[in-house]
Amino acid sequence: MQISWEPEHSDALRDYLAKGLSFAEIARAINARFHTAYSRNATIGRARRMGLSAIGQPGGSGRPKRRRKPRPTRSHRMRKRRAAKPRLSRPVLKRAAALKLRCVAIVPRHLSLLELEPGDCRYPFGGDEDGEAITFCGHPRRQGSSYCVSHFHLTRGRAPEHGTVKVLLRLVEAA
């Protein structure tokens, strides 16, 4: 790596710039002639420090610059593609019929989690709104379940058999 340019190297740089060579070509020519290892960027830097960055143009490369067309960015290309496709109209959705919710004709005891005993139903109530407390049914639970008989059948999606369990289910319309 060269730390400083010899005067002969600087003179050669000046001559090659006058001939219209590019900085990469100048670096190769100087390296071949003087057995150095200058890079293209080193020749650009030296030419700028000498005030010779190009013939008649400060900051140039010695060649006339070609103007390039600006390339559209990817987002522009994507917009063009989307704009070319016809847009489909969205279907008008009809309001669904009101749902009918099932609930059990049993009045919960509304116990807190700390008030529940080991044999009480754990079916939750409340907690739908922010800050609303969650309470639990609290009636005696069915054997092998966390819920009372009524809530057990409600969570399974089928009504209890009327012959064995006398619990009425009623339908409540959701508002």
Q: What integer is the mean pLDDT of 40-67?
A: 72
The domain segmentation of the chain, as residue ranges, is 7-50, 100-173
Please give the Cα distance from 170 to 133 (Å, whole number): 25
Query: What is the model's pTM?
Result: 0.34
**Residue range 55-107, pLDDT digits in tens:** 544 445 455 567 777 776 666 555 555 555 666 777 777 777 766 666 667 88
Q: What is the mean pLDDT of the chain?
A: 76
Q: Choose between 51 and 29: higher pLDDT.
A: 29
Predicted confidence band at 9 (pLDDT cuts at 50, 70, 90)? very high
